């Protein structure tokens, strides 16, 4: 990727320097190091992600880059900075497409993470119903077969009120539902073709995002 240009307005890829930045941050998670390397963060991490989100907004919704600072008020870990930079393109509040840069590589994902009691009740009701539940099971199976890791916050057992032998017992355990895949050494990462690759994976996840938007929106 070419050197940082404050006037650049075209996405040209996620440079390897972005991943190196987070590898180094893991060993130097302090304010002094961050301030010394903030120009690298701005040019190699924040700017490429902002450009990517802007170019994909028409198809996937408005994007937001999360704050790099950790909320340490109630945490025993006082490290001030997140060791990954996440961004979210929202279809609805808490429902949409995710991307993250870290030392591990580029994570491309989608689904929903936030939930209210009412949203969770709608999700479980839709999973329990034959038509919508079977549709979600097919979506999840297809996504998993495509190489995505299906995850989310889960209970250890089927929630109260549902048969423990329910045909979609594992889905009923979910309190949130998402899927993602990580790339580190792919040749397209540092090229403009990364936009096409991200869009392709988000399209694979669109049925999951659409299902949540229809049956379990906030």
Write the pLDDT tens digit of every residue in 178-201. Answer: 999 999 999 999 999 999 999 999
Supply the pLDDT for residue 115.
Answer: 74
Q: Is residue 9 part of a domain?
A: no
Q: Which structural domain range is residue 189 located in?
A: 16-215
Tell me the pLDDT band of 8, cut-offs 50, 70 and 90: low
Determine the Cα–Cα distance for residues 204 and 207; give it in Å rounded to an integer: 7
The pTM (predicted TM-score) of the whole model is: 0.92
From 82, 91, 84, 36, select the one nearest 60 (Cα to Cα).
91
In a domain, 91, yes or no: yes
Which of 132, 168, 171 has its CA nearest to residue 153? 171
Tally the domains of the chain. 1
The stretch 31-39 carries a mean pLDDT of 97
Asked whether residue 7 is domain-assigned, the answer is no
The whole-number average pLDDT for the span 156-184 is 96
In a domain, 8, yes or no: no
CB 7: neighbour CB atoms within 10 A? 4
The answer to the question of residue 176 being in a domain is: yes
- For residue 206, being part of any structural domain is answered with yes
Domain containing 51 — which CATH number?
Answer: 3.30.1460.10
Q: Mean pLDDT, to the nearest integer, of 35-63?
A: 97
CA–CA distance, 114 with 90 (Å, rounded to integer): 12
């Amino acid at each position: 990727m070419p050197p940082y240009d404050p006037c650049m307005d075209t996405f040209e890829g996620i440079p390897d320097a972005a991943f190196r930045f987070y590898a180094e941050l893991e060993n130097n998670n302090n304010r002094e190091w961050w301030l010394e390397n903030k120009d690298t963060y701005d040019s190699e991490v924040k700017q490429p992600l902002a450009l990517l989100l802007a170019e994909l907004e028409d198809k996937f919704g408005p994007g937001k880059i999360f704050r790099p600072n950790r909320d340490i008020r109630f945490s025993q870990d006082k490290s001030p900075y997140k060791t990954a930079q996440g961004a979210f393109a929202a279809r609805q509040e808490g429902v949409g497409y995710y991307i993250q840069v870290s030392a591990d590589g580029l994570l491309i994902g989608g689904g929903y993470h936030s939930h209210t009691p009412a949203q969770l009740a709608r999700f479980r009701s839709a999973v329990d119903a034959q038509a919508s539940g079977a549709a979600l099971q097919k979506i999840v199976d297809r996504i998993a077969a495509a190489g995505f890791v299906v995850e989310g916050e889960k209970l250890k057992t089927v929630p109260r009120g549902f048969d423990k032998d329910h045909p979609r017992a594992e889905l009923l355990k979910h309190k949130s539902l998402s899927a993602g895949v990580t790339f580190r050494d792919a040749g397209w990462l540092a090229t403009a073709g990364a936009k096409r690759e991200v869009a392709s994976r988000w399209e694979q996840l669109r049925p999951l995002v659409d299902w949540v938007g229809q049956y379990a929106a906030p």
